[in-house]
Amino acid sequence: MLRYICIRILSMIPILLGVSILVFATFHLVPGDVVDIMMGDEVAGDPKVLMELRKELNLDKPVYLQYLYWLWDAVRGDLGKSFTSGKPVMEEILHRLPVNVELMIIAIAFVILIGIPMGMLSAYKQFSFLDGIVRVATIMGYSIPNFWLATIVVLLGSLYFRWLPVLQYVPFSENPLENIKCMVIPGFVLGLTTLSYIVRMTRSSVLDTLRQDYVRTARAKGMTEKLVLFVHVLKNSLIPVITVLGIQIGVLIGGLVLTEEVFVLPGVGRLILLAIEQRDFMIVTGSILFIASVFVVINLIVDIVYAFLDPRITY
Amino acid sequence: MDEKKENGEILSPSRLAWMGFKKHKLGIIGSIMVIILILVSLFSSVVAPYDPLAMNPKDSLRAPCAKYWLGTDRFGRDQLSRLLYGTRISMEVSFGAIAIAIFLGVVIGLISGYYGGILDNIIMRLLDILFAFPLLLLALMLVAVLGPSLENLLLTIGFLYHSRFARIVRGSVLAVKEKEFIEAIRSVGARDITIILFFILPNVLSPVIVQATFNLSTAIMVEAALSFLGLGTQPPTPSWGLMISESRRFMELAPWLAVFPGLAIIFAVLGFNLMGDALRDALDPRLSQR
């Protein structure tokens, strides 16, 4: 097991290198160089100053050296400085990260707490009325664009109901209760697509498991239905569900940008959008490198959890 | 499509697939929805009652009525016409992007799977890098750098999605290339290119078709999402995502502007998903979910 974990951690390195090369290359796709963008309309400024600035940013060196300098900085947590605010990109990201983490936790909590029981119930009562409703609802669920649903929720909340303190972000440290109140609905909206996939996956996985011989044996030896369901069926059905959840985390991270934008939450997603608008590519590429790295690590964790759950996987 | 079945010229595997597909009621509904979408996008100029770009300041923000079935936006443009033309944009981007993705993915997957070895290893590790990004964010970054436009969006989605097809095709090639009939063809001296194009390719097409249907629905979603964020279709071109984004400023005055483009997206995504489910069950029984 330990060996497997070590191998998986080592295999992350080439992927992270590849990710960094792709981000670096994208940054260099921007027409002109960093200095041109930084100076904006003041390009006509003193050429000597510009030269010095280029030297300071290593722009006078060959590309591979630029990459190595950049990578070395990034590894130490220095993603450069924002063109517009002058603050370190890392600081800007870390400042907003709690919003994203909280949204993700709420979304994943919804997915697991509602999705898995609903999928199990739907499978257990296959072909019942409830099963029918769940199946239709899940098909609908992943056909609804979450940014549209978010827009509609904001519309309903602000127009017809007054129960939603919409569009007013309160930091958790200031007022935990108010904070959770304004994050729950965005979190749910964010998780809806994933929820549908998880319900579907749980349902089909549980249906598979219910047909296994060991389930029949468990019933035959007189185990109560509850025990059969929760001990034998649930545990063995969870493996494909976790795979899907792992894949869906990428979808959730992408959805964060849209959710934050509609609910006006100050997370990394809005940071990126604002930076794109201001052509602040230092922030755009820095944030994306950061998120992709986190995503790679999350995938690693999912893989390890997966290996723990499924003894059939050999390392 | 019914006549096709009756004239009996079709080989039995495809006939079986068709029979499986027909049993799938939701799949039939989905296909009808997709056919409607394609027809609307081909004939949007015929079915749209008004010019989607014609501004009509005195009819600004009208609620749905007999003259404007789905109301008008702030410039007095007819929303129904804009939605119908938006179908064309949406289909153009998704079909265009997925066509690029299929082409790249199938070529890469065939080469990687057939030749194997170091080449296969390198290609697969490169694809892993693409899978290491949350897709929407990578698309966001690429479009932002290339400059927001319909063409860049189409190319970006095509480029990003090819990796999925490449993986699937490679996997199927690995399974097919060990079969005896490939061995037999090789023993009579067929060249690699002949084997790949005429004997392997036809055998890996069904998972590609299934995957393509599902990816069309995701591409519609991604196009709408990026246009919503201002990084796709640019105004005044009518695009569903962009229309939702524009509606937000007048949400309280004109909620219908927010509702209908979303329903259009749901209709399109649902259509492709339902069709995809049925195709998967019919063409790829191993993957079917009850």
Calculate how close chain A gets to B188, using CA atoms only, in Å: 41
* Chain A interface test: which of B216, B229, B242, B247 (most A C-beta within 10 Å): B229
| Single-letter code of the amino acid located at B287 | L
Residue contact B266–A151, C-beta within 8 A: no
CATH architecture of B70-288: Orthogonal Bundle (1.10)
| pLDDT in the model for residue B290 | 39
Closest to B85 in 3D by CA, of B40, B151, B55, B152? B40
Which among A144, A148, A204 has CB closest to B289?
Answer: A204
* Site from A17, A83, A151, A263 to mutate, B interface, most B CB atoms within 10 angstroms: A151
The DSSP result for B142-208, as a single string, is: HHHHH-S-HHHHHHHHHHHHHHHHHHHHHHHHHHHHTSHHHHHHHHTT--HHHIIIIIIHHHHHHHH
**B32: pLDDT strictly greater than 60:** yes
The whole-angstrom distance between A113's CA and the closest CA on chain B is 23
Measured between CB atoms, which of A145, A154, A277 is closest to B221? A145
Rounded Cα distance between A97 and B8, Å, is 62
Q: Would you list the domain boundaries of chain A? A: 96-265
Lowest mean pLDDT among A284-298, B58-72, B160-174, B192-206: B58-72
What ipTM was predicted for this assembly?
A: 0.84
Place of tokens 């498991």: A209
Query: Could you give the percent of chain B with pLDDT greater than 90?
Result: 26
The per-residue pLDDT for range B83-134, each reduced to its tens digit, is 888 899 899 999 999 999 999 999 999 999 988 889 998 998 888 888 888 8
Q: Which residues in chain B have their CB less than 8 angstroms from residue A28's CB?
A: none
Q: What is the pLDDT of residues A245-292, one digit of tens each?
A: 888 888 898 889 999 888 888 889 989 998 888 888 888 888 999 999
Question: Chain B contacts of A151, Cβ < 8 Å?
Answer: 244, 247-248, 251, 258, 262
Percentage of residues in chain B with pLDDT exceeding 70? 92
CB contact under 8 A, A295 and B274: no
Does the beta-carbon distance from A258 to B229 stay under 8 Å?
A: yes
Q: Between B158 and B280, whose confidence is greater?
A: B158
pLDDT in tens, B51-94: 777 777 777 767 777 777 777 777 778 788 888 888 998 999 99
Chain A residues touching residue B34 (CB < 8 angstroms): none
Tokens linked to B235: 């105004």
Phi then psi for residue B38, to 5 deg, are: -65, -45
Average pLDDT over residues B259-284: 88
Weakly modelled stretches of chain A, pLDDT under 50: none
Confidence of residue B166 (pLDDT cuts 50, 70, 90): very high
Residue B3: the pLDDT is 43
pLDDT for position A37: 63
CB spacing of B135 vs A154 below 8 angstroms: no
Residue with the larger pLDDT of the pair B158 and A166: B158
Q: What is the pLDDT of residue A302?
A: 83
Q: Does B258 touch chain A (CB under 8 A)?
A: yes
- The sign of the CA dihedral A294, A262, A280, B128 is positive
Residue B49 confidence (pLDDT):
76
pLDDT digits (tens, 9 = 90+) for A147-164: 999 888 888 877 666 655
Biggest alpha carbon–alpha carbon distance for chain B: 77
Residue B4 banded pLDDT, cuts 50, 70, 90: very low
Q: Does B259 touch chain A (CB under 8 A)?
A: yes
| Phi–psi pair at A77, nearest 5 degrees | 90, 15
Fold of A96-265: MetI-like fold (1.10.3720)
Q: If you measure CA to CA, which chain A residue comes closest to B270?
A: A143
User: Is B273 in Cβ contact with A142 (below 8 Å)?
Assistant: yes
Domain ranges of chain B: 70-288
Q: Is residue A77 within 8 Å of A63, Cβ to Cβ?
A: no
Query: One-letter amino acid identity for A200?
Result: R
- Say what the pTM is: 0.85
Answer yes or no: are the C-beta atoms of A189 and A255 closer than 8 Å.
Answer: no
**Burial class of residue B178 (count of CB atoms within 10 Å of its CB; 0-12, 13-18, 19+):** exposed
